[in-house]
Amino acid sequence: MSGFSERAFDAVDIIATKRDRGTLSAAQIAWTIDAYTRGIIADEQMAALNMAILLNGMDRAEISQWTTAMITSGERMDFSTLRTPAGAPMATSDKHSTGGVGDKITLPLAPLVAVFGVAVPQLSGRGLGHTGGTLDKLESIPGWRADLSNEAMMRQLSEVGAVICAAGAGLAPADKKLYALRDVTGTVESIALIASSIMSKKIAEGTGALVLDVKVGSGAFMKSVDMARELAQTMVDLGKDAGVNTVALLTDMSTPLGLTAGNAIEVQESVEVLAGGGPSDVVELTVKLAQEMLVCAGVHDADPAAALKDGRAMDVWRRMIRAQGGDPEATLPVARESETIYAAKDGVLVELDALSVGIAAWRLGAGRARKEDVVQAGAGVRMHAKPGAVVRAGDPLMTLLTDTPEQFERAREALEGAVRIAPQGSAQGKKLIIDRIC
């Protein structure tokens, strides 16, 4: 039962306050979120308020109160009783990425951090549009299941140290309703609403430490460094206000991460990283995020790079996949059809646009346009060269994979202009990790 009267405030007055650049009180915000969740505030009224927030912003206190109200709309998980098999308390640390192309980092990262005795309760989602979803990738493993009860999740954290699963409906239910409304009313871009949406779920999840991977570039939601930095700082502040040790990295997403964008092919690449190999950018970001997660959880003497090379992270991966019904040794799905795109001339590959590759993978069947759509496990784009590589005319640049070959044409259209080849020596390297916000 809510503690608010339906008439404690008036929705029109609250809309007008923010329309006129006023500041909402904690009580007004708490009532607003509660009333909207219960259907007292109509969609059109909340849409108007969201637009006023988009145009006029909110200050730190308002954003913190808005986030708290969304957390209060549902349950909050508690890992304080979590223990190792030997009975020792376990620290918890989590990571959230704002989404990108080829971003499979969660897959090797969760077991890597767990090697050092820090539990990783990674509640993840499915992809929509050109950004891939962690659960979609893992569901390409035969038998693996995303839905776990809270009891099963706690048991797996105690026994394995890491879990990647779907968030329960009880965590911040107000956010689900609000996000659906923002998505159809042109108010997704509000920094305040993005930050509170992400952080309400992460704080409700109950982790003790959180590292944010805020993507910047064509394949990311944040196109400019300034916007990404503002979002990162807002989320770090929200975490700290809630007592969660939070830091953020700004990372480049102008080029896809790794050499794959899809589902099963990204799992395959993640396993290569866990085996001590894999693309250098995926390894670099995985190790850096692991270091940040461990330090935030109070572990300062760990060597994540060594744990990738010596097989300890792979051991945890196998246990984690088996614990959720999957077979880590099973053959992954393979697309029935493929088509290769070749270099048109000699030179240096200086640009491979992340957004274009993401849209191509989506059109091939690796992503979905609506939440109800089914994805193809084997679909996607396999890249054979990244910026800085010397190529010759006729060298393969990308292989398109799908079960529906009629999609090749639309995928090729998405890739028009995605690749730029210039004369020798013109490649300019970009820093993968742009900044750290704490």
Residue the block writes with tokens 């779920």: 201
- What is the distance in angstroms between the CA of the first residue and the CA of the last residue of the chain? 37
| Least confident segment among 277-291, 368-382, 396-410 | 368-382
User: According to the model, what pLDDT value does residue 1 have?
Assistant: 41
Q: What are the φ/ψ torsions at residue 80 (nearest 5 degrees)?
A: -65, -20
Q: Across residues 184-210, what is the average pLDDT?
A: 92
More confident residue, 28 or 7: 28
The first and second tokens of residue 144, run together, are: 């693996």
Q: Do domains 93-168+208-323 and 337-422 have the same CATH topology?
A: no
pLDDT class of 5 with cuts at 50, 70, 90: low
pLDDT class of 84 with cuts at 50, 70, 90: confident
Mean pLDDT for all residues in the chain: 93
Residues 6+ apart with CB under 8 A from 435: 225, 229, 232, 249, 250
310-348: buried (b, 16+ CB within 10 Å) or exposed (e) per residue? Answer: eebbbebbbbbbebbebebeeeebebebebebebeeebb
Q: Across residues 67-93, what is the average pLDDT?
A: 90
Return the CATH class of domain 93-168+208-323. alpha beta
The CATH number of domain 337-422, selected from 3.40.720.10, 3.90.1170.30, 3.40.50.300, 3.40.980.10: 3.90.1170.30
Report the phi/psi class of residue 247: left, alpha or beta, with left for phi > 0 and alpha for psi in -120 to 50. Answer: beta
Helices (DSSP H) in 242-390: which residue ranges?
Answer: 264-274, 280-296, 304-309, 312-323, 354-361
| Tens-place pLDDT, residues 300-356 | 999 999 999 999 999 999 999 999 999 999 999 999 999 999 999 999 999 999 999
Question: 3-class DSSP state for residue 65?
Answer: helix
Q: Across residues 246-262, what is the average pLDDT?
A: 97
Q: Across residues 408-415, what is the average pLDDT?
A: 97
Residue the block writes with tokens 């050109």: 130
Distance between CA atoms of residues 97 and 102, nearest Å:
12
Q: What are the φ/ψ torsions at residue 165 (nearest 5 degrees)?
A: -150, 175
Q: What is the pTM of this model?
A: 0.93
Number of H helices, E strands in the chain: 16, 13
Question: 3-class DSSP state for residue 346?
Answer: coil
Question: What is the signed CA dihedral for 266, 268, 273, 274, rounded to 10 degrees?
Answer: 120
**pLDDT > 60? residue 262:** yes
Query: For the chain, which residues make up each domain, given as ranges?
Result: 93-168+208-323, 337-422
Question: 3-class DSSP state for residue 92?
Answer: strand
Contact 287, 305 (CB under 8 A): yes
Residues forming the active site: 96, 175, 182, 197, 201
Distance between CA atoms of residues 34 and 28, nearest Å:
10
**pLDDT > 90? residue 7:** no
Q: List the Cα angle 236/106/216 in 5-degree steps.
A: 55
The CB density around residue 360, as the number of other CB atoms within 10 Å, is 27
The first and second tokens of residue 185, run together, are: 């009313």
- Across the chain, which distance is largest between two alpha carbons, in Å? 71
| Tens-place pLDDT, residues 108-151 | 999 999 999 999 999 988 776 677 789 999 999 999 999 999 89
Distance between CA atoms of residues 157 and 124, nearest Å:
15
Which of 255, 162, 193, 154 has its CA nearest to residue 63?
193
pLDDT class of 215 with cuts at 50, 70, 90: very high
Q: List the Cα angle 393/394/397 in 5-degree steps.
A: 100
Tally of residues, the chain: 438
Percent of the chain with pLDDT over 90: 84
Q: What are the φ/ψ torsions at residue 265 (nearest 5 degrees)?
A: -70, -30
Question: 3-class DSSP state for residue 153?
Answer: helix
User: According to the model, what pLDDT value does residue 370 have?
Assistant: 72
Residues 6+ apart with CB under 8 A from 78: 206
**pLDDT > 80? residue 85:** no
Q: What is the DSSP letter of 363?
A: I
Strands 396-402 and 260-262: unpaired
Q: Across residues 240-268, what is the average pLDDT?
A: 96
**pLDDT > 90? residue 425:** no
pLDDT class of 4 with cuts at 50, 70, 90: low
Q: What is the DSSP letter of 422?
A: E
Distance between CA atoms of residues 71 and 167, nearest Å:
14
